[in-house]
Amino acid sequence: MSHALLVIDVQLDFCPGGALAVPEGDAVVAPVNAMMPGAGTVVLTQDWHPAGHSSFASSHPGQPAFAQVIMPYGPQVLWPDHCVTGSPGAEFHPGLDTSRADLVIRKGSNPAIDSYSAFLENDHVTPTGLDGYLRSRGVTRLTMAGLALDFCVAFSALDAARLGFAVTVRQEACRAIDLDGSLARMRDQMRAAGVTLA
40/50 with CB nearer ligand VGL: 50
Dihedral sign from CA coordinates of 184, 186, 191, 195? negative
Residue placing its CB nearer to Zn ion in the complex, 47 or 131: 47
Nearer to ligand VGL, 161 or 177 (CB): 177
Q: Summarize as ranges the residues that interact with ligand VGL (CB under 6 A).
A: 9, 14, 47, 79, 116, 147-148, 151-152
Catalytic annotation present for 107: yes
Q: Least CB distance from residue 179 to ligand VGL, whole Å?
A: 9
The catalytic position among 83, 131, 150, 152 is 152
Residue 148 interacts, among ligand VGL, Zn ion, none and using kind-specific CB cut-offs from 5 to 8 Å, with ligand VGL
Q: Which is nearer to ligand VGL, 39 or 78 (CB)?
A: 78
Min separation Cβ 165 and ligand VGL, Å: 19
- Is 180 catalytic? The answer is no
Identify the burial level of 22 via C-beta atoms within 10 angstroms of its C-beta, where 0-12 means exposed, 13-18 middle and 19 or more buried. Answer: buried
Interacting residues of 95 by C-beta distance below 8 A, sequence separation 6+: 26, 29, 30, 33
What is the closest distance, in whole angstroms, from the C-beta atom of residue 138 to ligand VGL in the complex? 27
Identify the active-site residue in 13, 47, 81, 107.
107
In the 8-state DSSP scheme, what is residue 5?
A: E
Sites of contact with Zn ion (CB under 5 A): 47, 108
How near is the Cβ of 15 to ligand VGL at its closest, in Å? 11
Does 15 participate in catalysis according to the annotation? no
Strands 103-107 and 41-47, by their bridges, are parallel
Catalytic residues: 9, 107, 152
